[in-house]
Amino acid sequence: MPDLSDILEVLLLQNYNTRLVVLSTTLLGIAAGLVGSFLLLRKRSLMGDALSHATLPGIAIAFAVMISLGGDGKSLPALLLGATISGVAGIATMLLIRNTTKLRDDVAMGFVLSVFFGVGVASLRMVQTLPGASAAGLESFIYGKTAGMVQSDFLLIALVAAVASLVSILFLKEFLILCFDDGYAAAQGWPTIFLDVLLLGLVTAVTVIGLQSVGLILVIAFLITPPTAARFWTQRLLPMLLISALIGGASGWLGAVISALTPQLPAGAVIVLVAAALFLISMLFAPTRGVLPRILSQAALRRKEDRQHFLRAVYEILEDQAGEGPVANRSFPYEALFAKRSWTPSQLRGILRIACREDHLEPTPPGRLRLSEPGFGEAARVTRNHRLWETYLIQYADVAPGHVDRDADMVEHILGAELVRELEVKLGGPLPDQTVPPSPHLVGDR
């Protein structure tokens, strides 16, 4: 286990190699988060996977070319150039299959991914037999070799990441319309083909510079996981881009730091695991679309529905007791509630506990119930809103009176004060406060 001095040395970036690795992966994560957001919205996540696998033959071919020219074959810019050419060839093959055949995108992506990767693995084995060639280390492009970065690698990653991020920001409006409706963009005269190629070029650039840090197998996770996690936090594009960049940068920084503190763990795998952990946290706890907030919100809505159904059932019971006279707050038999709703005894006991906690019931003799004054006022308001909505559905939505109660139950729980006022205006003008209109079912029967 690392001691405090080791942790401080890594966190403060005092070691030169650690500083290169942490800064490189952080910049790469920011760029991957930005570019990956457009790739996700474009519904082309698998294209990044196919692209990353398509780069392997280019690495092997670039190594063989450098050996044939008398070099040692280990020039990183030349290897990345070969990976870029091979990746572009993979994208061109996918587009060719998609545009000249009736095959779907996933078929083209699966074909390119498997064929190019197979060619790459075979090519790597072949270049190892070249006379005077030392292909040791080329396999690091498959799994990544972050710890082997030097200053030239950092400068290359920083340059490409900065350019990719800048282009993403400059073409934000164009990428936005391309991702959400490319047909509309083409009809409006936008150069959709150019924008599509530009976006794929950014994906290619980020994928290629990510080979050194996380490898071609895991780089797709670096492109897709941050924007996917960001989608749980917001439904707007600009905040999504910012959150995705932050998650990508944090994944690179934390992954590199953890790997530096535990050298037996490869940095590429740790970076992806950190990104996956942030995705899991986002999926569970994000307030906008997270699983746990959604469960809590649904539970709160169910409690609200039960409370409103209970209050409306009580008000209808009081109406039945009043007959033609004004409705008054009286006690009523407990069993009368079962005739209004299909509650089980256990469900009704739970609803009554909530009503008591919210001060909607008064103490009564066993077997009888009585609303408190606040509870009676709330029951009148809930019943009033329900009947306003029922009347509106019957008059304006042509809903049959026999079905309107069910349809009103689905919407009445989200009626706000402003919407209630609009309903009153449409139905003949505002009603006095707490005036409950008659049930449209009874009006229709008359």
Residue 413 confidence (pLDDT) above 70: no
Same domain, 300 and 403: yes
pLDDT at residue 444, as a whole number: 46
Distance CA 168, CA 41 (A): 14
Domain of 304 in residue numbering reads as 294-445
pLDDT at residue 407, as a whole number: 52
Same domain, 305 and 282: no
Q: Name the band, by pLDDT with cuts 50, 70 and 90, for residue 133.
A: low
Q: What is the DSSP letter of 358?
A: T
Question: Which residues have CB under 8 Å from 314's CB, separation 6+?
Answer: 332, 337, 369, 371, 375, 379
Same domain, 311 and 245: no
Distance CA 82, CA 180 (A): 33
Mean pLDDT of 222-239: 90
- Picking from 276, 293, 288, the residue whose alpha carbon sits closest to that of residue 236 is 288
Q: Name the band, by pLDDT with cuts 50, 70 and 90, for residue 243.
A: very high
Q: Name the band, by pLDDT with cuts 50, 70 and 90, for residue 245.
A: very high
Same domain, 267 and 144: yes
Same domain, 314 and 405: yes
Mean pLDDT of 64-87: 79
Here the CATH number for the domain that contains residue 421 is 1.10.10.10
Q: Name the band, by pLDDT with cuts 50, 70 and 90, for residue 230.
A: very high
Same domain, 268 and 315: no
How many distinct structural domains can be found in the chain?
2
Same domain, 72 and 146: yes
pTM over cut 0.75: yes
In degrees, rounded to 5, the angle at the alpha carbon of residue 78 between the alpha carbons of residues 220 and 214 is: 25
Distance CA 51, CA 49 (A): 5
Same domain, 409 and 264: no
Mean pLDDT of 171-189: 86
Tell me the CA distances in angstroms from 117 to 110, 121, 274, one per residue in order: 11, 6, 26
Q: Is 388 left (phi over 0), alpha (psi -120 to 50) or beta?
A: alpha
- Picking from 82, 86, 79, 76, the residue whose alpha carbon sits closest to that of residue 117 is 86
Q: For residue 153, count other CB atoms closer than 10 A to its CB.
A: 21
Per the CB < 8 A criterion, the answer to whether 127 and 60 are in contact is yes
Q: pLDDT tens digits, residue range 284-331?
A: 999 888 899 999 988 888 888 888 889 888 998 998 888 877 888 889
Q: What is the DSSP letter of 102?
A: S
Same domain, 149 and 42: yes
- 226's tokens: 């941050």
